[in-house]
Structure 1
């Protein structure tokens, strides 16, 4: 995928860096205090085209390559996580599923709307299932009256559900579990469809301003055109392919936020004095700074590699998982060191370090926990080895 002209893209990144520094970071305290992004900022992000970064230009988007979109995410993730979260499902998962599995009619209907800034959510996880699709309880049954489907079930921890105008909902279309998860299909469901209810936003450890909630489906009637790709049994395949992009987004966000935390620690270490000199002069503080810099650089290199492979058309499932695992765990280690560098101040809400620590914790959990992704990486390693034997 060629993406935006490189020179234009670098100009866009420069503009975005200024926007993050001059507009988003100063707004963080308001986002935290009110647990919401100001409407004016959401509209500015729409006007900048952030909701349609990967939508093809002919449908109103920016047409970015995977490498370019990951750089945008990393740049935005330098600010509070909510700013990335509000557009990330559009860009990383919903749009990817439409691209990989949507019919021409579905692309024509939804891509312009997504590019214009309608917010999407992605309904895979349930109270009793996440990565375990065999336990999925949400059902989609043919509408007895003719064309269409009736959906019933509950989705849990759905990012952006309180703000979304459309959801990509995974549902069981076959009673029995089938090989390769062919019992799961994907449906494009407008959130104002009768029978769709969104629960109250959950209270979370961190990530203020980013909202998750349950989505309850009670006898939700959708037309036959709602079935992604027009074919049953392909939903899980589309979901997993789009999760590759979602994992790249989380990896890029982890990398950008780790950089923000380290910059904060570097500033604090040069200003804070002990024993008559800045603590940055002490070698054990320097060790923590250097280890963090080294790990962030490694994640940046992984991001550049996996996104280049994605743009070249390679199957990146294993490498996207590896990048997400490393970058999210790396971010956790960096923010832990940052709290330590801040010392007692790092435990106080008055300073940024404790917020970085809380915000970063979710990166190791969503879009596949570290442990699930390690199992997935190993499974594919063993499968590839067996195929070569």
Structure 2
């Protein structure tokens, strides 16, 4: 995308987030739902397809551009970004990285427009940090497949039109090599959902359990066709690497908002006849937060550059996701501390954000999983049993 065009995109998103979404954050929190008007505005702005190539109706951002957009989206409640995050990220990337041309042509334009919402159905009750241990199975039956299993904490599943379901297709293969991916329409017989989950934070972003009871899909819904058979684990790991870098950038967008809230409060709140900004211990909290924010932002941008040129599509995303998700947690904690008792009260942005950011250290690979990936990436075989 031309620099001027991308600048216009960022400007439009910044205005939308700050003028339209921020004033409705309390409403979203109370209702546990993003208003329909905001969802339609996101579709009209092309946000459901920002990472989908232009040939399929998307905006086609590079990773360097995507992280800048994510930082703008991070200024407000993460439930907004979650609406279209799966279409662009872990679900849409399944088709971009592993889908056949016919599958891409059929589904990606509909994802990019927001006509269809897609979900990434990988996690299970006993397969979280180790997705290779999943037990959902798909068995050949005539000219199609029958899928049985249960998925947990699937983002956007209550709103989804199609699921990217990871299922074991070769029970005799090693855990990571017998998994395939299927397109499963949510209106297919045998698909059902739990009520959406009640979470600590990120209200308005819906997750739930998905039940697959002898769900039949045709061979055409095997992602990648015969060439994609048993390659689901590789596809999942590639999609998660992309998602980790995006989440890192989102964390730094939230870090920017937290620093803003913290500094604004410190300049107007008085104790002892002075604004608390005059006290050096408060200044220390602010300085540490600004440093974390600047360091994380620089890391995200460098990791995105390396991702785009292909020199690092694994280690960089993990280092960025690990550092930025931990850093925004530290910043949120300091922001609450600067606010004092006010920071512990519902209705104050930093209290909500304190709860919201906690999830970033868990999903799309916990901080501990990122540590393992990073260590093995630099230690090689010496780090493996």
TM over 0.5: yes
TM-score band by shorter chain is over 0.9
Instruction: Report what 2:128 is aligned to.
Output: 130
Write the distance in 1 (CA, Å) between the matches of 2:307 and 2:94. Answer: 15
Write the distance in 1 (CA, Å) between the matches of 2:76 and 2:339. Answer: 19
**1:354/1:32 CA distance change after superposition, 3 Å:** same
CA displacement, residues 215-257 of structure 1 (integer Å, 9 cap, x when unaligned) = 1100000111111111311101011000011111211111111
User: 1:1-389, aligned counterparts within 5 Å?
Assistant: 4-117=1-114, 118-143=116-141, 146-178=142-174, 181-230=176-225, 231-383=228-380
Displacement over 2 Å in runs of 4+ = none
Question: For the Cα contact (< 8 Å) 1:246–1:367, is it kept in 2?
Answer: yes
Q: Mark the runs of 5 or more structure 1 residues left unpaired by the alignment.
A: none
Write the distance in 2 (CA, Å) between the matches of 1:134 and 1:258. Answer: 33
CA displacement, residues 164-201 of structure 1 (integer Å, 9 cap, x when unaligned) = 1111111000113427x111111111111111111100
Pairwise CA distance, 1:385: 7.5
Write the distance in 2 (CA, Å) between the matches of 1:41 and 1:57. Answer: 23
Write the distance in 2 (CA, Å) between the matches of 1:385 and 1:99. Answer: 34
**1:342/1:172 CA distance change after superposition, 3 Å:** same
Write the distance in 2 (CA, Å) between the matches of 1:259 and 1:323. Answer: 16
Write the distance in 1 (CA, Å) between the matches of 2:296 and 2:163. Answer: 31
Pairwise CA distance, 1:95: 2.0
Write the distance in 2 (CA, Å) between the matches of 1:322 and 1:285. Answer: 29
Give the stretch that moved more between structures: 361-370 or 253-262.
253-262
**1:385/1:129 CA distance change after superposition, 3 Å:** closer
CA displacement, residues 369-388 of structure 1 (integer Å, 9 cap, x when unaligned) = 001111121122222779xx
**1:350/1:113 CA distance change after superposition, 3 Å:** closer
Structure 1 length normalisation: TM-score?
A: 0.95
Write the distance in 1 (CA, Å) between the matches of 2:172 and 2:317. Answer: 30
**1:64/1:384 CA distance change after superposition, 3 Å:** farther
Question: For the Cα contact (< 8 Å) 1:88–1:249, is it kept in 2?
Answer: no
Write the distance in 2 (CA, Å) between the matches of 1:34 and 1:132. Answer: 34
Q: Mark the runs of 5 or more structure 2 residues left unpaired by the alignment.
A: none
SS in 1 for 2:306: helix
Matched residues, number:
381
**1:134/1:101 CA distance change after superposition, 3 Å:** closer
Question: For the Cα contact (< 8 Å) 2:26–2:347, is it kept in 1?
Answer: no
Write the distance in 2 (CA, Å) between the matches of 1:73 and 1:190. Answer: 28
Write the distance in 1 (CA, Å) between the matches of 2:255 and 2:62. Answer: 24
Write the distance in 1 (CA, Å) between the matches of 2:271 and 2:278. Answer: 10
SS in 2 for 1:153: strand
Write the distance in 1 (CA, Å) between the matches of 2:210 and 2:382. Answer: 41
Pairwise CA distance, 1:87: 0.9
Pairwise CA distance, 1:120: 1.1
- RMSD across aligned C-alpha pairs, in angstroms? 1.4
SS in 2 for 1:217: strand
Structure 2 length normalisation: TM-score?
A: 0.96
Question: For the Cα contact (< 8 Å) 1:325–1:373, is it kept in 2?
Answer: yes
SS in 1 for 2:158: coil
